[in-house]
Structure 1
């Protein structure tokens, strides 16, 4: 078979084509390599403003729970025995004054006893007058010897006995008059009736409780405080107390209990409360003790994001990427929030726009307000070129 041979010209053309194709391929790869970094460079997800945590003076407060109770509750009972109640003049919730008549017992039998005692006094006084006259005559005859010394002594003793019987009769009259006074049940102090067991027609014994009353209408909040916190509370400190009804008042610490409960290791703090229509004895209430002011690490409230029940802030690093940090918030002062754990003092925190960030997002920082608004505004939509005629 004859061999196929290429001419020199054909060989030159083939070599030229190979070189041209290789150059084209190299140019295309170089162009793609040059365009690759530009296409892979990420764009910022959001424009944010940043700040650093600040040390701020915040009020020191101690929260506690407790019950509202009467400052002092007086028990009003019957002082007479075996008498029938004829009138009950007050009911639960009534405001009474000291000495006001709360209830009345039947006084007929007591009045009869008073009349009898008064008659006994008159009889005793008459007998005493007669005995005094006899004794005076006997002493007048002592010098004449008409009466013996023994007889004179008898008249003198009879005089003294008659005087003693007068005093006994008067004491009995006073006792019956006191029983008559007890037929009216009087308020021992001003206050509010908190309970009533008195019933018209009932015959009660001496000492039976008829009413209970809150003295002066004064209420107090008995807060339960742990033994570790007792040293921070002093009499006279102000307390913001909020009852279960939503009513809020400012109370004053009157005293701290001298003992601690051995079971709970809590102590009671007694707080005087001002009068309020929506706060009643027996209510549950919570309160905050004002303990002065202190320094705390705070951030703007807008920087704290709540997700799934937890609190987070976003820290911007040197590459303009954000890191999600779980923090523990504390007290709120105006538009700032105390951070008690989870954040360094030198961290840079995203503020405006933090609610839209996620872990690892790339951001653009614009702390100037005008610059922030300008970068947040959407870019204008390019207009389509006019169609040529």
Structure 2
């Protein structure tokens, strides 16, 4: 009968084979471990950076006059062309002047009567003064003197009435009080208008220069003041402002400050800061919305490409850095706005830190990386740094 007992040598051989298999597998896994990933980095250098604030704005006419009649009458002529420039004193409307011409004639007659009465009173006064004591008493002289003074006052009143009548006659021709561009007329020839009516005849608007009200949150103004007080922000002697129009095109011209704003809106919590822009081609019209870029001054900060930063769920920004021992490290950064295509970083980075801008997709904290110096062109495309430049 065959025995079921296996010799010890068979078990030993199996253990030896298993040991050899595990050793070969470990060697194979060791050989297949991936090398450290190459990442593109930019070395951080603190530098003076322009501190800018981008705010919405709305254009406002520098001057705008609503034309209304000072006297009543029927419109007989419209003397201007809508959209064509007018200057101070340019005739725009003419009213029927017949009644005002008659009033001037009546006032002129009143002046003539008063002048004649004054002449008669002065003659009587002189005669009374000559005959005083010879049939003319001092009381008669005083009466003649009072009559002459009254006649002189009546003449002055008549002349004032004539002046009023002449002024009202001149008001029958309605002129522009400012330089600008008139709107279409809101009345027609034959319409009856009254003095000081609520409805306007037309509107004249001055377009050059043009005002732009920039809307700045009051909280941001307070933070800017804190930066100035702490010395972090060095203000420019004059604020430089550029505009971007509604179609995205940049406006050719810079503005000057007119009013810094002295009141905070109780509904929006914002301050309207007014700037003035030259507008010779009348590109900006009142009521147009624009975007203003205000250059406040300079701050010492790091410029981090926006493509290198990640916005976390809590709203904070983080970047990856090739830290000590070339190990990937995630940093939280604080910014004071943006400059061109970069974040202006004031906290979270140090001089010489290597911020990773390329190869971010597979990074994890503590992973070993091989930093390769790179640059970004104007379009944000990564460009390798020449070896000699990297060595410098």
Q: TM-score scaled by structure 1?
A: 0.71
Distance 2:126 2:385 in 1: 120
Please give the secondary structure, in 1, of the residue aligned with 2:178.
Answer: coil
Deviation per CA, 1:354-384: give whole Å up to 9, x if none.
2664558875544495899xxxxxxxxxxxx
Query: Relative to structure 2, which stretch is displaced further, 235-244 or 310-319?
Result: 310-319
Cα distance change on mapping 1:159 and 1:363 into 2, 3 Å: closer
Give the Cα–Cα distance (whole angstroms) in 2 for the partners of residues 317 and 163 of structure 1. Answer: 101
Matched, 1:176 2:195: no
2:76 maps to 1:86: yes
Deviations 1:156-210 (CA, angstroms, capped at 9, x unpaired): 4444443333333222211111111111222223234368544432222222343
Instruction: Show the counterpart of 1:230.
Output: 221
**Distance of aligned partners of 1:342 and 1:370 in 2 relative to their CA distance in 1, 3 Å threshold:** closer
Secondary structure (helix, strand or coil) at the match of 1:33 reads: helix
Structure 2 stretches lacking a partner, 5+ long: 226-234, 375-383, 388-392
Q: SS in structure 1 opposite 2:204?
A: strand
Aligned Cα RMSD in Å? Answer: 4.3
> TM-score, normalised on structure 2?
0.71
- In structure 2, relative to structure 1, the CA distance for the partners of 1:250 and 1:356 (3 Å cut) is same
Who is 2:85 aligned against? 95
Q: Which structure is larger by alpha-carbon Rg, 1 or 2? A: 1
Give the Cα–Cα distance (whole angstroms) in 1 for the partners of residues 21 and 324 of structure 2: 32
Q: In structure 1, how many angstroms separate the alpha carbons of the residues matched to 2:63 and 2:258?
A: 14
Post-superposition Cα deviations, 1:273-332, rounded to whole Å, max 9, x if no partner, equal 221532121122332322211122333566457999997754446786757778777655
Q: Give 3-state SS (helix, strand or coil) of 1:237's partner.
A: strand
Which residue of the partner structure matches residue 10 of structure 1? Answer: none
Aligned match of 1:56: 47
- The question of whether the paired residues in 2 share the 8 Å contact of 1:324 and 1:358 is answered with no
Aligned-partner SS, 1:218? strand
1:365 to 1:119, Cα distance in 2 relative to 1, 3 A: closer
Where does the alignment leave 5 or more consecutive residues of structure 1 unmatched?
Answer: 5-14, 373-389
Secondary structure at the residue paired with 1:85?
A: strand
Which of 279, 284, 289 pairs up with 2:289? Answer: 284
Counterpart contact for 1:220–1:270, Cα < 8 Å: yes
Equivalent-residue separation in structure 1 for 2:334 and 2:146 (angstroms): 95
Distance of aligned partners of 1:38 and 1:176 in 2 relative to their CA distance in 1, 3 Å threshold: same
Q: 1:115 to 1:313 in 2, by over 3 A?
A: same
User: 3-state SS of the aligned residue for 1:228?
Assistant: helix
Secondary structure in 1 aligned to 2:254? strand
Deviating more after overlay: 293-302 vs 276-285: 293-302
Question: What number of residue pairs does the alignment pair up?
Answer: 356
SS of the residue 2:304 aligns to: strand
Query: Is it true that 1:255 corresponds to 2:259 in the alignment?
Result: yes
1:378 corresponds to: none
Q: Any conservation in 1 of the 2:38–2:359 contact (CA below 8 Å)? A: no
Q: Distance in 2 between matches of 1:38 and 1:318?
A: 30
Report what 1:294 is aligned to.
Answer: 299
CA deviation map 1:108-166 (0-9, x unaligned) = 221122122212322332333334334433433335x2445555555544444433333
Kept after mapping to 1: 8 A contact 2:49/2:300: yes
Deviations 1:30-89 (A, max 9, x none): 376246324443234854333443323211122333322223433433221x21122233
Which one of 346, 350, 359 corresponds to residue 356 of structure 2?
Answer: 350
Give the CA deviation at 1:343.
6.4
